[in-house]
């Protein structure tokens, strides 16, 4: 396709918290500065900047890209904000990849920032307008409805119990104990999750990731630049994205076909023909525990309906055959929407560099995949990294 190789050479991340004192631009600055410092670059070396952030309604600022610009290092540069709902955090590095792979620039800074705590009484309310204003909003929906509906459809299709699903929350919240950015890391047990408050049957409180504030950033560079900067570049080997219809009630919710299509695009680019064998570590999006299982299947990391069994067998544990969400995921580290997706990309970056510290998975992983998801069960964004 005439595309240039693109490497990640630096990453930065803030702590994910319920309520940050810092503003969105301040958090963006902290993450971006950390990423540039690690890459050994100055802001003047950066040619283009792309920023990912979720709906303006969280911040109550109706030009969030421009609002975040100065913190993200975008002053007087080729700067743009990208947005595909909850899929934004993995789309942002894909967008940066486009800039570098196309030859438009050699150094691109990718920043994802989210400040959900500004929205009262609860940021969940800001999501209501994703439902169709004429045919759905008059029914007074809550955001949790759609997840409860999808979770039940998934459980019914494969005969899964709530215990099968809750294991994901236990794994991820415990994994997050080793992540310095974690907001809700906790040594929870299956009983804790199953006995937590029921919000929308079958969804319990501890099945859900929290609302969070936080930011993350990565530096993407061309091959020539990467070789000058580091002997440990991590290559973006494949990218994929796919969006399905907003007529969400007309598709069968048990399987995310749009995630599979995004994965197939990324795998083809990366030369991956047998994802179950060729991918060594994975960070699928886990805003709810069942969604990790859903997305493992959509990413073709296991057969359909098998993800829960593999989880129960420890296959997806940090020391399992395929570590899944070794970071602790959205369920454990927290879920500042766009920053979460990029946190997952950063986790794969660190795992492949064998710099993940206590979270390091064994076996010197060479290939990893990160994925995000969003909106009305319709957005899939996938990135494959290789060392």
Q: What residue ranges bind other proteins (CB under 8 A)?
A: 10-15, 17-22, 27, 30, 34, 38, 60, 120-122, 124-125, 128, 131, 133-136, 138-145, 148-150, 152-153, 156, 180-181, 183, 197-203, 213-215, 245, 247, 249-253, 346, 350, 353, 355, 357
Nearer to other proteins, 154 or 267 (CB): 154
Instruction: Burial-class residue 20 by CB neighbours within 10 Å (0-12, 13-18, 19+).
Output: buried
* Strands, sheet with 367-374, edge to edge from the N-terminal-most edge strand: 78-82, 48-52, 107-115, 213-222, 6-13, 234-243, 379-386, 367-374, 281-283
Instruction: Burial-class residue 250 by CB neighbours within 10 Å (0-12, 13-18, 19+).
Output: exposed
**Measured from the CB of residue 370, what is the shortest distance to other proteins in angstroms?**
16
- Measured CA to CA, the distance from residue 225 to residue 43 in angstroms comes to 15
**CA-closest candidate to residue 54, choices 330, 289, 346:** 330
Nearer to other proteins, 15 or 162 (CB): 15
**Measured from the CB of residue 56, what is the shortest distance to other proteins in angstroms?**
11
> What tokens does 346 get?
């950063």
Residues in contact with 80: Cβ distance below 8 Å, sequence separation at least 6, in sequence order? 49, 50, 51, 65, 95
Three-state DSSP state, 109 = strand
**Measured from the CB of residue 74, what is the shortest distance to other proteins in angstroms?**
20
Residues in contact with 21: Cβ distance below 8 Å, sequence separation at least 6, in sequence order? none
What's the CA angle centered on 258, arms 252 and 264, to 5 degrees?
130
**Measured from the CB of residue 206, what is the shortest distance to other proteins in angstroms?**
15
**Measured from the CB of residue 78, what is the shortest distance to other proteins in angstroms?**
27
Nearer to other proteins, 120 or 277 (CB): 120
**Measured from the CB of residue 142, what is the shortest distance to other proteins in angstroms?**
5
Instruction: Burial-class residue 364 by CB neighbours within 10 Å (0-12, 13-18, 19+).
Output: exposed
**Measured from the CB of residue 354, what is the shortest distance to other proteins in angstroms?**
11
Nearer to other proteins, 322 or 375 (CB): 375
**Measured from the CB of residue 80, what is the shortest distance to other proteins in angstroms?**
25
Nearer to other proteins, 12 or 275 (CB): 12
Instruction: State the helix-helix crossing angle for 143-158 and 162-175, rounded to 10 degrees.
Output: 120
Nearer to other proteins, 22 or 237 (CB): 22
Nearer to other proteins, 202 or 238 (CB): 202
Nearer to other proteins, 210 or 323 (CB): 210
φ/ψ of 71, rounded to 5, equals -65, -35
């Amino acid at each position: 396709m005439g595309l240039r190789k693109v490497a990640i050479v630096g990453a930065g991340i803030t702590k994910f918290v319920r309520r940050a004192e810092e503003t969105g631009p301040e958090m963006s600055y902290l993450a971006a500065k950390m990423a540039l410092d690690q890459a050994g670059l100055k802001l003047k070396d950066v040619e283009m900047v792309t920023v990912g952030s979720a709906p303006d309604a969280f911040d109550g600022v109706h030009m969030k890209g421009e609002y975040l610009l100065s913190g993200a290092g975008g002053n007087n540069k080729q700067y743009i904000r990208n947005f595909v709902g909850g899929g934004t955090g993995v789309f942002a590095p894909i967008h940066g990849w486009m800039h570098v792979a196309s030859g438009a620039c050699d150094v691109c800074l990718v920043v994802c920032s989210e400040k959900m705590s500004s929205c009262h009484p609860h940021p969940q309310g800001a999501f209501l307008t994703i439902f169709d204003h004429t045919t759905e909003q008059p029914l007074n929906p809550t955001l949790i409805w759609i997840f409860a509906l999808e979770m039940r459809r998934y459980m019914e299709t494969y005969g899964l119990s709530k215990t099968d699903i809750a294991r994901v929350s236990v794994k991820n919240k415990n994994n997050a104990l080793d992540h310095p950015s974690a907001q809700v890391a906790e040594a929870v047990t299956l009983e804790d999750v199953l006995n937590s408050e029921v919000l929308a049957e079958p969804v319990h409180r501890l099945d859900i990731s929290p609302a969070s504030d936080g930011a993350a950033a990565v530096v993407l560079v061309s091959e020539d630049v990467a070789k000058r900067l580091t002997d440990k570049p991590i290559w973006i080997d494949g990218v994929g994205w796919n969006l399905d219809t907003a007529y969400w009630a007309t598709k069968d919710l048990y399987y995310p076909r749009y995630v599979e299509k995004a994965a197939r695009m990324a795998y083809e680019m990366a030369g991956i023909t047998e994802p179950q064998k060729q991918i060594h570590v994975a960070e699928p999006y886990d805003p709810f525990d069942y969604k990790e299982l859903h997305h493992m299947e959509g990413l073709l990391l296991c057969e359909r309906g098998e993800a829960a069994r593999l989880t129960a067998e420890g296959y997806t544990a940090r020391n399992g055959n395929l570590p899944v969400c070794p970071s602790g995921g959205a369920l454990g580290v927290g879920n500042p929407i766009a920053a979460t997706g990029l946190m997952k990309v950063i986790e794969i970056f660190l795992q492949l560099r064998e710099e993940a510290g206590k979270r390091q998975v064994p076996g010197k992983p060479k290939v990893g995949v990160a994925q995000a998801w969003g909106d009305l069960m319709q957005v899939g964004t996938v990135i494959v990294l290789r060392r």
